[in-house]
């Protein structure tokens, strides 16, 4: 990775520490589940823009279409979460992991044999699937957080880390970012399920001590 890329990335990361020090943020106040979700999500978003730009060209029209599709996918997830609230986190994470593995193994070069409309439909579906599942998980978790401001701050700071990790594609190649995102989402799921079990244990203890 060229030094002129590493230097500004280091400066950005160093500057991001300043507001954290100013607000005296404590480690226990960070929602690590949403932190790793933010890191993985921004990694997916930047990868989606790069992947589709390789297929359709790196123009402002293509980039705006890609960003628009991502925003529509997130909007659909937020609209559907109220109807899909019965779906467990295990199911949603399983769908997310499967979508990331599909993105890793799918060869987007095979789309060049199809018509442009088919290319758009297939590529946007495959690229958008993990974003859709991730948005469902985020919407379901965010509805239950005790402090929305702290949760959003944790998610945004994770997004900064994800933006820095996106430059790993210079070393690993673009499709390997799917596995980096998969690893980050696995960590986020661990933090989520640990927190859920902790909440269940406290609830059981509270019920036990009641007369």
Q: Is the pTM of this model over 0.75?
A: yes
Determine, yes or no, domain membership for 4. Answer: no
pLDDT of 92 over the 80 cut: yes
DSSP character string of 39-67:
HHHHHHHHHHHHHHHHHH-S-HHHHHHHH
DSSP character string of 110-158:
GGGGS-HHHHHHHHHHHHHHHHHHHHHHHHHHHTT-S-HHHHHHHHHHH
Residues 114-166: tens digit of each pLDDT: 887 888 788 888 888 898 899 889 888 887 887 788 888 888 888 888 888 88
pLDDT of 19 over the 70 cut: yes
Q: H/E element holding 13?
A: helix 3-22
Determine, yes or no, domain membership for 37. Answer: yes
Determine, yes or no, domain membership for 19. Answer: no
Determine, yes or no, domain membership for 171. Answer: yes
Task: Label residue 39 exposed, middle or buried (CB < 10 Å: 0-12, 13-18, 19+).
Answer: buried
Domain CATH code at residue 112:
1.20.1250
Determine, yes or no, domain membership for 15. Answer: no
Determine, yes or no, domain membership for 17. Answer: no
| 70 CB-near residues (< 8 Å, 6+ apart) | 45, 48, 128, 131
Determine, yes or no, domain membership for 16. Answer: no
Determine, yes or no, domain membership for 173. Answer: yes
Region 71-100 average pLDDT: 85
d(CA 125, CA 135): 15
Q: Which residue has the higher pLDDT, 104 or 72?
A: 104
Q: Containing domain of residue 189, as a range? A: 32-209
Nearest to 77, CA basis, from 154, 143, 165: 143
pLDDT band (50, 70, 90) for residue 199: low
Q: Which residue has the higher pLDDT, 21 or 162?
A: 162
Q: Count structural domains, the chain.
A: 1
Task: Label residue 138 exposed, middle or buried (CB < 10 Å: 0-12, 13-18, 19+).
Answer: buried
pLDDT of 198 over the 80 cut: no
Average pLDDT, the chain: 81
d(CA 36, CA 40): 6
């Amino acid at each position: 990775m060229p030094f002129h890329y590493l230097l500004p990335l280091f400066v950005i990361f160093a500057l991001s520490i300043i507001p954290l020090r100013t607000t005296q943020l404590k480690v226990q106040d960070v929602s690590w589940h949403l932190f790793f979700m933010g890191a993985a999500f921004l990694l997916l978003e930047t990868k989606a823009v790069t992947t589709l730009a390789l297929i359709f060209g790196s123009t402002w029209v293509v980039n705006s279409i890609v960003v628009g599709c991502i925003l529509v996918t997130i909007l659909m997830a937020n609209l559907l979460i109220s109807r899909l609230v019965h779906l467990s986190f295990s199911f949603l994470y399983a769908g997310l992991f499967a979508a990331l593995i599909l993105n890793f193994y799918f060869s987007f070069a095979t789309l060049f044999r199809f018509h442009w409309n088919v290319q758009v439909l297939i590529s946007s579906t495959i690229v958008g699937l993990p974003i859709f599942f991730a948005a469902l998980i985020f919407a379901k978790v965010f509805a239950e957080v005790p402090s929305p401001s702290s949760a959003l701050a944790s998610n945004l700071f994770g997004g900064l880390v994800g933006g820095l990790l996106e430059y790993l594609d210079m070393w690993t190649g673009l499709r390997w970012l799917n596995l980096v995102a998969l690893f980050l989402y696995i960590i986020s799921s661990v933090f989520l399920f640990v927190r859920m079990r902790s909440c269940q244990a406290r609830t059981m203890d509270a019920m036990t001590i009641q007369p």
